[in-house]
Amino acid sequence: MDKVEQAYAVAKERYGEVGVDTDAAMESLRRPSLSIHCWQGDDVAGFESPDSELSGGGIQVTGNYPGKARNVEELRMDIEKLLDLVPGSHRVNLHASYGEFGGKRVDRDAIEPAHFTGWIEWARRRGVKLDFNSTYFSHPLAESGYTLAHGDPEVRKFWVEHGKRCRTIGAAMGKAQGDACIHNVWIPDGEKDYPVTRYRRRELLRESLDEMFAEELPAEEVKDAVESKLFGIGSEAFVVGSHEFYLAYAVSRGKIVCIDMGHFHPTEVVADKISSILQFVPELLLHISRPMRWDSDHVVIMNDDLRLLGEELVRSGRIDDVRLGLDFFDASINRLGAWSVGARTTLKALLAAHLQPLARLSRFEAEGNNFARLALTEELKSLPLGAVWDYYCRTEDTPVDGELIEAVAEYECTTLSRRV
Ligand code: RNT
Ligand code: ZN
């Protein structure tokens, strides 16, 4: 027995004492797939032109660490490396701006499934499934701060057409992979200062979305999700697509609600929303992220927000109805390192949640013994989660935590540092 196995044997016994089966917890962790965002690899730049970069939309990437993926080959190479560093089998989430346009300028209202055949074939070869997002930022027609709720019907028409085409692309992906592609819609629309036409803007958004979603597409191929936001840089006073707007929209139109952890008031507990929303919709999409004072999209770490999220996913019994999308981007450190730490930590938080003695905790609660509930949840926090996690990584043929720094450094040395 090596150290990882020895530590696991002790952890298994220790967890057993509090009523937790570590093997069963690892088995449960194998099931869900993360929908891993492609945009951590190139700072949300995409491939529309050789010098594309993220602009507008109130989202921002900071940092200029060397080694960013400059083209589709490099991005795929980095994602493949990432998938080797993350235990389990996962999906890859693309944005419309990541199509392969063969050096031509193809505007957003003209993109087609053909621009994504490279990705579809790559995904099939790699055995991963794809999710998709329409892209309503980094474009001249988004510069005013409005897209689907723009005052000019011509501009709205352009973005509605983009959304329709993205749904078709999503359906092509879903069909090819034999599993529905989740097509997520997030728009930046909003204002720096107080508008007087809030009602009209939201009416426009409702109309644009209805038009965009008018065509019924097979649910086994594509399902649409809508992502709300509270504020962004340059949209501090007003965001058209607020939480209330999209929650009501999704419930009334049978769409998936997307909850991004950075899109709420900093004191709101995002995990608490799961059990409310899932009373009324069959499925939920999460954008797992880490806001730091604002929607800063920091790399996900093991903080209370993430732990609570994992716990709620497990405690609600509805984890299978929740899509686990990642959404963070840090350009100030090694991007593969950022990606792998965020993805692995998300899984580790789920493992921690599966390592709860749920039956015992619920029994204490039912008996009104809230002291015992408190004491046991506190005890759980210092049980040997890391030993179970490392063993899980080992069984999945991925580095254990102590091997990650070196694995990332090696890739930096052989590959990323040569990108100059
Ligand atoms: C922006 C939203 C959105 C984007 C990605 C790139 O605030 O969170 O999901 O981060 O689509
Ligand atoms: Zn998001």
Q: What is the dotted CATH code of the domain comprising 32-355?
A: 3.20.20.150
Residue nearest to atom 1 of ligand 1 (CA): 59
Which pLDDT tens digit goes with each residue over 151-185? 999 999 999 999 999 999 999 999 999 999 999 99
Ligand located closest to 98 CA: 1
Residue nearest to atom 3 of ligand 1 (CA): 186
Question: pLDDT at residue 198 above 90?
Answer: yes
CB-based contact 100:72 (threshold 8 Å)? yes
The string of DSSP letters for 56-84 reads STT-------S----SHHHHHHHHHHHHH
Say which residues have a Cβ less than 8 Å from residue 382's Cβ, sequence separation at least 6. none
- Ligand 1 pocket residue status of 183, Cβ below 6 Å: no
- Ligand 1 pocket residue status of 96, Cβ below 6 Å: no
Per-residue pLDDT, 413:
98
How large is the angle between the packed helices 335-354 and 22-30, nearest 10 degrees? 130
How do beta strands 322-326 and 284-288 pair?
A: parallel
CB-based contact 289:297 (threshold 8 Å)? yes
Q: Torsion over CA of 296, 302, 306 and 312, rounded to 10 degrees?
A: 180
What is the chain's mean pLDDT, rounded? 98
Length in residues, the chain: 420
The residues annotated as belonging to the active site are 186, 227, 229, 260, 263, 287, 295, 297, 327
Question: pLDDT at residue 420 above 90?
Answer: no
Q: What are phi and psi of 322, to 5 degrees?
A: -120, 125
Per-residue pLDDT, 221:
98
Residue nearest to atom 7 of ligand 1 (CA): 59
Per-domain residue ranges of the chain:
32-355
Which pLDDT tens digit goes with each residue over 366-397? 999 999 999 999 999 999 999 999 999 999 99
Residue nearest to atom 2 of ligand 1 (CA): 186
Which pLDDT tens digit goes with each residue over 88-143? 999 999 999 999 999 999 999 999 999 999 999 999 999 999 999 999 999 999 99
Q: Which of 62, 246, 260, 330 to mutate to test the pocket of ligand 1 (most atoms within 8 A of CB)?
A: 260
CB-based contact 329:61 (threshold 8 Å)? yes
Say which residues have a Cβ less than 8 Å from residue 252's Cβ, sequence separation at least 6. none
Per-residue pLDDT, 292:
97
- Ligand 1 pocket residue status of 295, Cβ below 6 Å: yes
Q: Name the residue type at position 76.
A: R
Which pLDDT tens digit goes with each residue over 48-95? 998 999 999 999 999 999 999 999 999 999 999 999 999 999 999 999
Residues with CB under 5 A from ligand 2 (ion): 260, 287, 327
Ligand located closest to 286 CA: 2
Which residue, among 86, 89, 96, 81, has the nearest Cα to 131 in the 3D structure? Answer: 96
How many A from CA of 385 to the centre of ligand 2?
A: 29
CB-based contact 404:38 (threshold 8 Å)? no
Give burial (CB, 10 Å; 0-12/13-18/19+) of 115: buried
How many A from CA of 393 to the centre of ligand 2?
A: 27
pTM for the model: 0.98
How many A from CA of 415 to the centre of ligand 1?
A: 28
Which pLDDT tens digit goes with each residue over 353-363? 999 999 999 99
Which pLDDT tens digit goes with each residue over 406-418? 999 999 999 999 9
Locate 381 and state its tokens: 């926090």
Q: Which atom of ligand 1 is nearest to the CA of 135?
A: 11
How do beta strands 322-326 and 34-37 pair?
A: parallel
- Split at pLDDT 50, 70, 90, the class of 1 is confident
Name the DSSP letter for residue 31: S
d(CA 344, CA 336): 12
Question: From the CA atom positions of the chain, what is the Rg in Å?
Answer: 22
Q: Which atom of ligand 1 is nearest to the CA of 44?
A: 6
Locate 168 and state its tokens: 């078709």
Question: pLDDT at residue 205 above 90?
Answer: yes
Q: Tokens 């083209």: give the residue.
A: 71
Residue nearest to atom 6 of ligand 1 (CA): 44
Question: pLDDT at residue 197 above 90?
Answer: yes
Q: Is 370 helix (H, G, I), strand (E, B) or coil?
A: helix
How many A from CA of 27 to the centre of ligand 2?
A: 29
